[in-house]
Chains A and B, each alone.
Chain A
Amino acid sequence: MRQARFDNIYELKTKRGVRLFTKSLYRSFRGFEEAIIKKDGVAYREVDPERSKLFAAVAKGASQIGIREGSSVLYLGASHGYTPSYVSDVIGEEGKVICVDFAPRVVRDLVFLCEKRENMLPLLKDCRHPETYQDYLPEKVDVVFQDVAQRDQVAIFLKNVRAYLKRGGYGLLALKARSVDVTMKPEAIFKDVFKELERQPDVTVVDKRELAPYEKDHILFVVKRR
């Protein structure tokens, strides 16, 4: 087990490739049938990059993800909470992750998860309307992560970045080309969105990672707020 380039993320080299783990914040937590390796009194939870766009980007060698020990994270499109649970491991006891999703079905699972993990907070809200959850965000956050697979997801992302991201904070946009436009070539969409992000006066693109083969037609953009 070897520390990766990011806080609380570990790699294990095996014959069949590299497996990714996070140092588990709760030693007895296991919520997604994930493999757990215990070593020297520390539990490591395996994360499957095919189920997590964030960790797909880590596996593809992302240069920065902005999420560190102690970070506060606004997580849009939290779904059942698979990736958020690992974000919760990475940020540790001092960090916070505010999880937003607008589908009641998945938020049901998310609530059960957040009850078990003290640095997670669930919200049943539509991230198209950031003002609807301002009461739960008294301070700006270090990271905005978005994975929502909506046609207007870039606009939604920028709205939330402007409302809630600190200056110098990181915005992560997991873009699904197929939900922006099924008829266009994914590469063309990636290019358009890249240009659109570059045009914004208040953000700088610091990394982009296509997520194939873990996730088809997806890309993760990392921007920094100026």
Chain B
Amino acid sequence: MDWQALRQRALKDTKRAVATSVDDDNLITQAISAMEDVDRAANTLTRRLREWYELYSPEFSKAVDDNEAFVRRVLEKPREEQLRELGLHETMGADLERADVQESERLAKAIKALREERDQLESYLDRVMLRRCPNVLVLAGPTIGARLLREAGSLKRLAMVQASTIQLYGAEKALFRHLKTGAKPPKHGHLINHPLLAKAGKEDKGKVARALADKISIAAKVDYFKGEPIGETLKQQLEARFG
């Protein structure tokens, strides 16, 4: 076979192979990363919005700590009402033209839309994970589960790696620092955000992370090899032990 014919065949086969390589794991990976990006963007923009809006209503910004509530209430309430709620008659804020205030409010609207997008992505993740790895989903939840799957690269790999690897996904920096310099080993990576770990005392976090990683590892194997649902049982075992 001459070179050009061989090359054309390889191009065709390779394009086909690239196309068929796309699966739910790719979708989950993109969705979780998009969600993280949207989160980051929303936070950056909210910080900007605060700086901007504080020219106009600093006391209000100071009084509302929560970013999401801040954005929502900028859009809901005019400044007079914000001040009245705080029991204030005076403000450090400048008397800006309505048109100038409106510009910052438009940014607030965009941030609100981003937050809605984030929630949509989360419910999408929930749906894809439910069909791809229902047992991991039950144990880890959509965000942590998706992050673990992304670090592994695929559900197949997540089912193959040791539970101790799952325990430390998201803590690579600390792990390699430990291996290279002998610094203290990390106890948990992405799992740190799991409700069971949040509840555990400082002394117990390592123990809980280890047990949780074990169960997630079992769940991943069941999901990959399409076994009987086991997520709820595993979850109950964990809750009985640590809950």
Contacts and interface: CB of A to CB of B under 8 A. Distances in A.
Interface residues of A, number: 18
A122 interface: yes
A31 B100 CA distance: 45
B115 to A, nearest CB: 29
Interface string B163-182: 00000000000001001100
Nearest to B18: A104
A28 interface: no
Identify the interface centre among A114, A122, A182, A183: most chain B CB within 10 Å of its CB: A122
A122 B21 contact: no
A136 B22 contact: no
Identify the 8 closest CB pairs spanning chains A and B, nearest first.
Answer: A104-B21, A124-B17, A121-B7, A121-B10, A122-B14, A104-B18, A124-B14, A183-B179
A215 interface: no
Interface string B3-32: 110110111011101100110000000000
Nearest to B19: A104
B1 interface: yes
Contacts, number: 44
Contacts of B22: 104
Contact of A138 (B4, B6, B179): B6
A107 B10 CA distance: 12
Contact of B14 (A96, A118, A123, A182): A123
A108 interface: yes
B29 to A, nearest CB: 10
Contacts of A136: 6, 9-10
Interface of B: 1, 3-4, 6-7, 9-11, 13-15, 17-18, 21-22, 176, 179-180
Contact of B1 (A107, A118, A122, A138): A138
B11 A111 contact: yes
17 contacts: A96-B3, A104-B18, A104-B22, A107-B18, A108-B18, A111-B11, A111-B14, A115-B11, A121-B11, A123-B10, A124-B14, A124-B17, A124-B18, A136-B6, A138-B1, A138-B6, A183-B180
Contacts of B13: 123
Contacts of A182: 176, 179-180
Contacts of B7: 114, 118, 120-121
Contacts of A138: 1, 6
Nearest to B7: A121
Contact of A111 (B6, B18, B176, B179): B18
A107 B4 CA distance: 19
B180 A122 contact: no
Identify the interface centre among A96, A104, A118, A182: most chain B CB within 10 Å of its CB: A104
B21 A124 contact: yes
Contacts of B179: 182-183
A121 B8 CA distance: 8
A189 to B, nearest CB: 14
Identify the interface centre among B1, B7, B21: most chain A CB within 10 Å of its CB: B7
A124 B14 CA distance: 6
Nearest to A101: B14
B18 A121 contact: no
B147 to A, nearest CB: 18
A68 B180 CA distance: 41
Contact of B10 (A108, A118, A122, A183): A122
A121 B17 CA distance: 14
Contacts of A108: 18
A108 B21 CA distance: 11
Nearest to B176: A182
